[in-house]
């Protein structure tokens, strides 16, 4: 077996082990369940003469062990749950809403652990602020437990008494990157209307704090919520901008190092959401492949991206919807879109404004993520395909000019205002499309989604891809 195949299958079995450990987390005998599955799988591979695969089956158990060990460290805490307490710590993450703010506190001194705090919008706190909080430490409600634990949060506190006692705690680089993010967001609000500035902040920074409840509903009704989930679009635009700025001025090696460093900084600055982390890892691997002159293997790159993210936090595999949507959509675009194009005998040209390319990319992504959407939200928008078709051609240009507005704001407010006029035209078009299609309705609801049918559905898509590939190859022969 080739080294690349060994890596792919060992990584896949490791991820399956993490998945099984997560799914059976409430079962006291999950260790023996996974041991039994490993032995059965190993025996099956031996019977089939796949000796390498039989040996690699041990990665199922390694995946299980990784979940147990990481949870032991990430979720260790001595917070006095159920009691009133005075705690001290620093703000590890601050999320500003329209009427309130949510803080994730890293508690220190007498106690340790991560605590989520719900408090009023003002005064606004930021990363690194040191706070003394006085209130009741509450247990996480069962329906939110997995979502909280995914982020290492072991308890919560609502409307405590808060006394600031210091600032500038945490990692200095992270504080600096967050300051840049705040400057970029504020530059949008200075030159654009609140609605346009909020949408542009969502597109470029993944910042939805300025979204009203009504606008969030419009995004949901039109199937366009993914537009403000940072992804490969953002990373691709950053790479293109760096390429334009440095073309012919630095060596290929310097370009590679600077690009990867800027991408990693962007990931941290925007909160390291699953979709942009995945895009950043794969973009970095592609850049590395170009740098060292090796062929970029998509399958192994995707496996490595998932592996690195799960090694850092095994709970994202099952409990992070953004992680699941990001990988499922990418698989749909890479494998399903070409199959659909072959089956309908579509032309290879992207078409005017890339309409043909956007059509198949959007359709394949939405088909691939459908079971996840139904399972998580119970709804799917009938307007999603058409709305995305009308928007996707304009989004990259909007993001590019948005970045230019932020850069211009450093030099001159007048220059930022001039560029804002251009981006405002695009934003007006996009917001109008979202508003108009949100009024048409067309949302289908599914109650009590059964994952058995979801698995069958994905199996059918895999069969469709296989059928298209075989049919195309037979015609070539």
> Rounded CA gap, 385 and 468, in Å?
22
> Within this chain, do residues 90 and 156 fall inside the same structural domain, yes or no?
yes
> Within this chain, do residues 15 and 65 fall inside the same structural domain, yes or no?
yes
Domain of 101?
Answer: 84-170
SS (HEC) of 258-315: HHHHHHHHHHHHCCCCHHHHHHHHHHHHHHHHHHHCCCCCHHHHHHHHHHHHHHHCCC
> Within this chain, do residues 55 and 116 fall inside the same structural domain, yes or no?
no
Among 28, 52, 74, the domain-final residue is 74
The token pair that represents 221 in the structure block: 């009704």
> Within this chain, do residues 92 and 36 fall inside the same structural domain, yes or no?
no
Give, to the nearest 10 degrees, the angle between helix 298-312 and helix 274-292: 130
What local confidence, expressed as pLDDT, does residue 378 receive?
79
Angle subtended at Cα 140 by Cα 138 and Cα 146, rounded to the nearest 5 degrees:
160
Instruction: Please report whether residue 37 resides in a domain.
Output: yes
> Rounded CA gap, 290 and 296, in Å?
8
Instruction: Please report whether residue 414 resides in a domain.
Output: no
What local confidence, expressed as pLDDT, does residue 432 receive?
95
> Within this chain, do residues 251 and 286 fall inside the same structural domain, yes or no?
yes
Pairing of strands 379-381, 443-445: antiparallel
The torsion of the CA quartet 208, 446, 374, 342, rounded to 10 degrees, works out to -120
Among 152, 170, 188, the domain-final residue is 170
Instruction: Please report whether residue 451 resides in a domain.
Output: no
> Within this chain, do residues 60 and 89 fall inside the same structural domain, yes or no?
no
* Nearest alpha-carbon partner for 282 in 254, 307, 257, 265: 307
Instruction: Please report whether residue 364 resides in a domain.
Output: no
> Within this chain, do residues 235 and 301 fall inside the same structural domain, yes or no?
yes
- The answer to whether the beta carbons of residues 213 and 198 sit under 8 Å apart is no
> Within this chain, do residues 38 and 94 fall inside the same structural domain, yes or no?
no
Instruction: Please report whether residue 221 resides in a domain.
Output: no
> Within this chain, do residues 55 and 107 fall inside the same structural domain, yes or no?
no
> Within this chain, do residues 95 and 165 fall inside the same structural domain, yes or no?
yes
Among 319, 337, 357, the domain-final residue is 319
Instruction: Please report whether residue 146 resides in a domain.
Output: yes
Annotate 33-67 with DSSP letters as a single string.
HHHHHHHHHHHHHHHTT-HHHHHHTHHHHHHHHHH
C-alpha dist (Å) from residue 213 to 97, 210, 219, 271: 10, 10, 10, 22
The token pair that represents 158 in the structure block: 């609502």
Low-confidence stretches of the chain (pLDDT beneath 50): 477
> Rounded CA gap, 324 and 375, in Å?
12
Exposure letters 259-278 (e unless 16+ CB within 10 A, then b): bbeebbbbbbbbbbbbbbbb
> Within this chain, do residues 107 and 37 fall inside the same structural domain, yes or no?
no
The CATH number for 127's domain is 2.40.50
> Within this chain, do residues 241 and 278 fall inside the same structural domain, yes or no?
yes
The torsion of the CA quartet 270, 273, 274, 275, rounded to 10 degrees, works out to -50
* Nearest alpha-carbon partner for 319 in 23, 56, 2, 35: 23
Instruction: Please report whether residue 195 resides in a domain.
Output: no
Q: Phi and psi dihedrals of 397, rounded to 5?
A: -65, -40
Q: How many domains does the chain have?
A: 3
Annotate 327-361 with DSSP letters as a single string.
HHHHHIIIIIHHHHHHHTT--SS--GGGHHHHHHH
C-alpha dist (Å) from residue 145 to 63, 79, 151, 294, 313: 22, 16, 10, 44, 16
What local confidence, expressed as pLDDT, does residue 477 receive?
47
* Nearest alpha-carbon partner for 113 in 79, 161, 159, 62: 79
Instruction: Please report whether residue 191 resides in a domain.
Output: no
Q: pTM for the whole thing?
A: 0.84
> CA gyration radius for the chain?
24
Q: In what order do the strands lie in the sheet with 84-96?
A: 153-158, 113-120, 100-108, 84-96, 130-136, 161-166
- The answer to whether the beta carbons of residues 13 and 59 sit under 8 Å apart is yes
* Nearest alpha-carbon partner for 77 in 114, 47, 42: 114
């Amino acid at each position: 077996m080739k080294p690349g195949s060994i890596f792919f299958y060992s990584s896949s079995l490791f991820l399956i082990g993490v998945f099984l450990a997560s799914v059976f987390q409430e079962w006291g005998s999950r260790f023996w369940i996974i041991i039994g599955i490993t032995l059965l799988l190993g025996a099956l591979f031996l019977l089939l003469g796949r000796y390498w695969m039989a040996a690699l089956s041990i990665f199922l158990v390694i995946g299980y062990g990784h979940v147990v060990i990481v949870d032991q460290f990430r979720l260790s805490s001595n917070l006095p749950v159920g009691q009133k307490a005075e705690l001290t710590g620093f703000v590890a993450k601050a999320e500003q809403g329209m009427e309130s703010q949510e803080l994730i506190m890293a508690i220190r001194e007498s106690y340790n652990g991560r605590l989520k705090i719900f408090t009023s919008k003002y005064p606004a706190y930021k990363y690194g602020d040191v706070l003394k909080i006085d209130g009741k430490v509450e247990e996480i409600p069962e329906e939110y437990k997995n979502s909280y634990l995914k982020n290492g949060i072991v308890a919560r506190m609502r409307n405590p008494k808060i006394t600031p006692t210091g600032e500038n705690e945490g990692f200095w680089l992270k504080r600096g990157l967050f300051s840049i993010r705040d400057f970029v967001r504020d530059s949008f609000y200075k030159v654009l209307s609140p609605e346009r500035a909020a949408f542009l902040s969502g597109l470029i920074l993944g910042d939805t704090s300025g979204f009203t409840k009504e606008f969030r509903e419009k995004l949901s009704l039109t199937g366009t919520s993914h537009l403000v989930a940072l992804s490969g679009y953002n990373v691709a635009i950053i790479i293109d901008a760096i390429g334009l700025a440095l073309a012919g001025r630095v060596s290929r090696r310097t370009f590679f190092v600077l690009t990867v460093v800027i991408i990693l900084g962007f990931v941290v600055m925007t909160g390291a959401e699953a979709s942009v982390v995945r895009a950043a890892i794969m973009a970095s691997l592609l850049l590395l492949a170009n740098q060292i002159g090796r062929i970029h293997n998509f399958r192994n790159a995707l496996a490595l991206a998932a592996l690195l993210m799960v090694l850092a936090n095994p709970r994202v595999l099952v409990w992070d919807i953004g992680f699941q949507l990001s990988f499922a959509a990418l698989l749909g675009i890479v494998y399903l879109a070409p199959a659909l194009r072959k089956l309908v005998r579509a032309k290879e040209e992207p078409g005017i404004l890339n309409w043909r390319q956007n059509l198949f990319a959007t359709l394949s992504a939405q088909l691939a993520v459908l079971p996840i959407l139904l399972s998580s939200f119970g709804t799917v928008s009938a307007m999603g395909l058409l709305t995305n078709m009308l928007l996707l051609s304009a989004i990259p240009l909007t993001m590019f000019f948005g970045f230019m507005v932020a850069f211009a704001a450093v030099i001159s407010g007048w220059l930022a205002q001039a560029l804002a006029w251009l981006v405002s035209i695009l934003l007006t078009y996009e917001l109008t499309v979202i508003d108009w299609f949100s009024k048409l309705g067309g949302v289908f609801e599914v109650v009590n989604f059964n994952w058995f049918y979801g698995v069958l559905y994905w199996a059918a898509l895999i069969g469709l891809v296989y059928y298209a590939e075989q049919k195309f190859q037979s015609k070539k022969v």
